[in-house]
Amino acid sequence: MSELKRHMGLFHITMYGVGLILGAGIYVLIGEATAFAGNSVWISFLLGTIVAMFAGLSYAELTALFPKAAAEYTFVKHAFKNNFLAFIIGWLTAITSMITAATVSLGFGGYFAQFIDLPITVSAILLIGVLSIVNFIGIKESAWANTIFAIITAGGLILIIFLGMTFETTESIDYFEMPNGTIGIVLAFVLIFFAFIGFEDMANVAEEVKKPKKTLPRAIILSVLITGIIYILVSLSVVRIINWEELGQSAAPLATVAEKSLGVEGSILLSAIALFATASTVLITLVAGSRILYGMAHNKSLHLSLSKIHSKTKTPWIAVIGILITSAAFTIIGDIVIVANITVFAVVITFAMINLSVIVLRYTEPTLERTFRVPINIGKFPILPLFGFGVTVYMAIQFEMEVMLAGLGIIVAGGLFYIIFNRKNIGKTN
């Protein structure tokens, strides 16, 4: 069987990670978060950075041990020696990639409609189609496209930081103002965590990274740190320019901030940058999602056809087509906040299992060579993954009932698929 080709070094994979994290979340959800947390929304972003770093360190250790596609599936399978549990985690990761790609492409369609009068759903499907072609052509081309998108996206956020820090205001800003108390901070933190997810998908392109055992851990940590610092500075900047109440009511919060400071031209500029931000998120989720399907099929948890590699592009072309069709179908979903919460619910469950996997593997596979180890340990026991596990479990019970039911529905659907698929395979072998 053909293998994936290793194209990406530290710079490309770090920018890949930055592109994964920076994207639609910060451009769309910061307004909603500010409505909950007020001027103290930066604390929510700080909490998000800390929790993302807990998970990032765990991913770094595990990717150094098992640099394979379908990373979460592989990690859980090695830790718990349980195919069903591993499949459910891989299933959650794949489905959330599809939903995220679809939802963010709708966000792209909304911004695109400000420039060209085209139905949002049509724009969304066209974007998914074009970026799926990039995904099919190859990881090197996808990485370059994402690097360009990430630089433009980061440029827009750096502009917001500059505008906020140089904005002349006659009023002093109370950065600890909490209109809804600490519960507002927590609600904002849970919501904006959507803006942090994505770095975990770096592990799913491990088979296309040069020297992955050394390169991937460094890239994961760097990408989380870079984006966390940018997010905190953005959250401090926006409330200097616009009152948190006004910002919380805006459908395009960063464009509103730019318009307040630079006029209509600023709004147009940020809207244009938002197109790159959303496109970047869609591209990366399409790439990562197809690699998850490839890796699970390679491990015989999905149909083997999904593991086929194209002879010329060296990409999992059937998995690319599968993600294209499914994501396009999911574009019928509308509310980005609700879908963001469903995605985060699924992701925090995955993060909980990843943190737990680090702890379990320290005892079940103590002799494995670890080129990277999570710092702060008591003997074999890693302290930070324990904190990460506790925080993610706490986050999982903070969502509204409809969000939790939707997330549990995805898990149940995965369980049924696993049972049916394995029965068919058993029937074929008998």
The CATH number that applies at residue 417 is 1.20.1740.10
CA distance 374 to 90: 23
- Kindly report the average pLDDT of the chain as a whole number: 83
Amino acid of residue 158:
I
Q: Does residue 428 sit within a domain?
A: no
pLDDT tier for residue 38 given thresholds of 50, 70 and 90: very high
Q: Does residue 88 sit within a domain?
A: yes
% of the chain surpassing 90 pLDDT = 23
Q: Does residue 278 sit within a domain?
A: yes
pTM value is 0.80
Residue 423, Cβ neighbours under 10 Å: how many?
10
CA distance 250 to 272: 17
pLDDT at 283: 82
382 φ, ψ (degrees, to nearest 5): -85, 125
How many domains is the chain built from? Answer: 1
Q: Does residue 311 sit within a domain?
A: yes
Tens-place pLDDT, residues 273-298:
888 888 878 887 888 788 778 877 77
pLDDT at 429: 44
Task: Answer whether residue 361 shows pLDDT above 50.
Answer: yes
% of the chain surpassing 70 pLDDT = 92
Residue 193 vs residue 311, higher pLDDT: 193
Q: Does residue 141 sit within a domain?
A: yes
* Structural domain of 84: 10-421
Angle formed by the axes of helices 264-298 and 71-80, nearest 10°? 50
pLDDT at 213: 78
Question: What is the distance in angstroms between the CA of the first residue and the CA of the last residue of the chain?
Answer: 26
CA distance 66 to 63: 5
Q: Residue 104: which residues within 8 A CB-CB, separation 6 or more?
A: 23, 24, 278, 281, 282, 285, 336
Q: Does residue 116 sit within a domain?
A: yes
- What average pLDDT score do residues 348-375 get? 91
Helix intervals (H) in 315-381: 317-329, 336-364
pLDDT at 424: 64
Q: Does residue 1 sit within a domain?
A: no
Q: Does residue 5 sit within a domain?
A: no
